[in-house]
Amino acid sequence: MTSTDRAGIAAVARRAAELLPDADVITDRARLRTYECDGLTHYRVTPALVVVPETATQLAAIVAACAEHGVPFVARGSGTGLSGGALPHADGVLVVTSRMRAIREVRREDQRAVVEPGVINLDVTRAATPLGYYYAPDPSSQQVCSIGGNLAENSGGAHCLKYGFTANHVLAADLVTPDGDLVTLGGAAPDSPGYDLLGAVIGSEGTLGIATSVTLRLTRLPEEVRTVLVGFESTDQAGAATSAIIAAGVLPAAIEMMDALAIEAAEAAVQCNYPAGAGAVLVIELDGAADEVAQEYDEVERLCRDHGAFEQRLATDPADRALIWKGRKSAFAAVGRISPDYIVQDGVIPRTALPEVLHAIAELSSSSGVRVANVFHAGDGNLHPLVLFDDAVEGAGAAAEEVSGAILDLCIQHGGSITGEHGVGVDKSAYMPRMYSEEDLDTMQLVRCAFDPHGISNPGKVFPTPRLCGEVPGRHKGPHPLQEAGLAEVF
C-alpha cells in the first residue's frame, strides 16, 4: 500500500467512524481477514477497511468519501458468491450490506415488496407467503444469499426456466453511484421512461454502484405444485427426457439433473433418499392451475418412462418435496463430503447440445483422471460441473483448473456462455475474451465509464484488463497511477 493509499483509507475510516458505531468500522487485522473471501475461497485478499452501514445515507456518505479520496470499494452482501465478485481490494474498502436487512413493504394489491439489500432472498418469500405470494428467483443459496447480491449477479435459480431471473423481477432500485450520489433507477410501475439503466445495473457485479433499496415483483403462489424425482440409468436418458418434455410444449417450473457422483455427495450430506443406483436423476417441478398440472404430470411421467426412467417418485407432501429439493440445493457444499477441494463451473449450452457436451465432459474427466460431478439446470442448459481435486496432492489443483477451463471452452464452442448465474467476478474474467470480441468488451466498458469513470467500484472484476475511461469532462486529474505503471490503457 502506498502512502497515498493509506491516507485515503484513513480518511474514509475517519468518515465512517463519524457515521457508524465502532463495531461497524472494522480495522482490526484478525477481523478484517474474516472478510477476505466470499463463497469462492480460492481467491483471498484482506481488505484495508470493512464498514457495515445500516442506512442508505451512511452508505452513500462512505462511497462519497471513497470517491473523494480515490479509494476503491467493493460491495458484499452475505458473501456467498461463487465467482469472487465480492473479493475485497487490498487498498480498498469493503462495504457490507448485511445490516441493511429491513423488509420495508410487502403489498399484495401491487404484487410488490420493497426491501433493503441485505435482506435474505428466502425471507422475501417468507414475508409474502401469508399473502399468497412469493419471490420467484430462487438461487440454491436462497436461504442465505442477499437481494443486493442477487441484483449484482442477476441471480437465477432452479425455477428461472419458467419464471426468469432477477432482472425480470426487479422493478426499481436506489443506487449509490460510484460518485456517492443516491439515484433511483426504475420505478414501482414498469417501463420507467428513459434508458433502462436498471437493466444494465442488474448483473453488473457491483461495478456500477451499490443498491440500497430494491423493489421486487412478487409472484402468485401456484395453486398446485408437483415435484417428481425420476431415476435414470444414464445422463443420456435423462437429457433425452428433458428435451422430449420441452419439445412436447410443457414448461415445467424446473428441470434439474444430477449425475451419479453428485447424487452420492447429496446423499452423504442430507440423506435425501434419491433412487439407488441411478446414473442420473431429474427433479422436475410442475406448477400452476391444478387441472393443468395434473395433465402435464401425466405427460411428463409418460415421457420419462419412454426415455428409460426406472423409478418415478412423486413428492407426497411439502416435507417430501423439501427433502427432494434439499438434495439438489445442498449439492455444491455437499461435494465437500466426497472431495477435499472442488471447482464449481457455471457454463451454459443450448439444451439440445446437452448429451454431446456431457459426453465430452466425461471424456475430459477420464482422459485427465480428474473426477467431475454434474449438477445442473437441465431445462435451460446451465451446467454446474463440479471438478473434484485434492489440493494436498501436487499438481491436482492445476489439473482441475485445466479441466475446468476446457469445460468452459466446450460451452463457448457450442454457442453458450461461461456463466449462467454465478457471474464472471474475478474467477472467469480471463475467459471473457474467449466469449466476446475486443469490440464487445470495449462497448460494455462504455457503460462502466458512464457510471464509474475512475474505476473505483469493484475494480478488477468482470473485465479481463483494467481500463480507464477517456475524456471525462472536468474530472481528469493527470494520468492514473495504473496508467503510469503501464498496467492499464486509456481508450
Region 23-62 residues binding another protein, contact defined as CB under 8 A: 23-24, 26, 28-31, 33-46, 52
By the rule CB under 8 A, 464 interacts with another protein: yes
Residues numbered 297 to 316 that lie near another protein (CB under 8 A) are none
How many whole angstroms from its chain centre is CA 125? 18
**Grid cell listed for 110:** 401491487
Measured in residues, the chain has a length of 491
Alpha-carbon distance of 421 to 154, in angstroms, equals 7
**347 Rama sector, left if φ>0, alpha if ψ -120 to 50, beta otherwise:** beta
**Is position 211 an interface residue for another protein (rule: CB under 8 A)?**
no
Q: Which stretch binds another protein (CB under 8 A): 226-234, 256-264, 356-364, 420-428?
A: 420-428
| CA distance linking residue 381 with residue 360, whole number of Å | 15
Binding mask 150-179 for another protein (x = CB under 8 A): ---xx-x---x---xx-xx--------x--
Q: Which is nearer to another protein, 29 or 477 (CB)?
A: 29
Binding of residue 253 to another protein (CB under 8 A): no
When asked if residue 252 is in the footprint of another protein (CB under 8 A), the reply is no
- Count of residues near another protein by CB under 8 A: 158
In the bound state with another protein, the residue whose beta carbon lies nearer, of 72 and 231, is 72
* Coil vs helix vs strand at 381: coil
- Region of 179 (left: φ > 0; alpha: ψ -120 to 50; beta: rest) is alpha
Q: Smallest Cα–Cα separation from 17: which of 74, 61, 47, 56?
A: 61
Radius of gyration from C-alpha coordinates of the chain: 23
Q: Is 147 one of the binding residues for another protein (CB under 8 A)?
A: no
Is residue 322 a contact residue for another protein (CB under 8 A)? no
The nearer residue to another protein, 268 or 311, going by C-beta atoms, is: 268
Q: Check: CB of residue 15 under 8 Å from CB of residue 62.
A: yes
Decide whether 11 or 200 has the Cβ nearer to another protein. 200
Q: Is 404 in the site for another protein (CB under 8 A)?
A: no
Cα dihedral sign, 371-377-379-380? negative
Report the half-sphere exposure of 319 (CA within 13 A, side-chain side): 0
Q: Which is nearer to another protein, 363 or 442 (CB)?
A: 442
Our finding on whether 363 is near another protein (CB under 8 A) is no
Beta bridge partners of 115: 103, 214
Q: Which is nearer to another protein, 199 or 279 (CB)?
A: 199
437-456 positions binding another protein, by CB under 8 A: 437-444, 446-451
Kindly identify the residues of this chain, within the stretch 261-290, that bind another protein according to CB under 8 A: 268-270, 288-290
Of the pair 18, 442, the CB lying nearest another protein is at: 442
Paired with 219 in beta bridges are 134
The nearest distance, CB 353 to another protein, in angstroms, is 8
Backbone angles phi, psi at 124, to 5 degrees: -65, -45
Cβ nearer to another protein, comparing 168 with 311: 168
**108 phi/psi in degrees, rounded to 5:** -65, -45
Between 362 and 412, CB nearer to another protein: 412
Contact between 484 and another protein by CB under 8 A: the answer reads no
476 binds another protein (CB under 8 A): no
Q: Of 82-121, which residues contact another protein (CB under 8 A)?
A: 87, 89-91, 96, 98-99, 101, 107-112, 118, 120
* 62-87 as b/e: b if 16+ CB within 10 A: bbbbbbebbbbbbbbbbbbbbbbbbb
Q: Does 490 bind another protein (CB under 8 A)?
A: yes
Q: Which of 110, 147, 109 is nearest to 125 (CA)?
A: 147
Please select the residue that binds another protein; options are 183, 277, 302, 318, rule is CB under 8 A: 183
d(Cα 249, Cα 258) in Å, to the nearest integer?
23
Closer to another protein at the Cβ: 311 or 358?
Answer: 358
Q: Which amino acid is at 442?
A: D
Q: Return the residue of 12, 286, 334, 373 that touches another protein, per CB under 8 A.
A: 334
Instruction: Give min distance, CB of 486 to another protein, in A.
Output: 9
Give the shortest CB-310-to-another protein separation in angstroms. 25
225 part of the interface to another protein, by CB under 8 A: no
Cβ atoms 124, 147 nearer than 8 A: yes
**Alpha helices (H) along 160-231:** 160-163, 197-201
78 binds another protein (CB under 8 A): yes
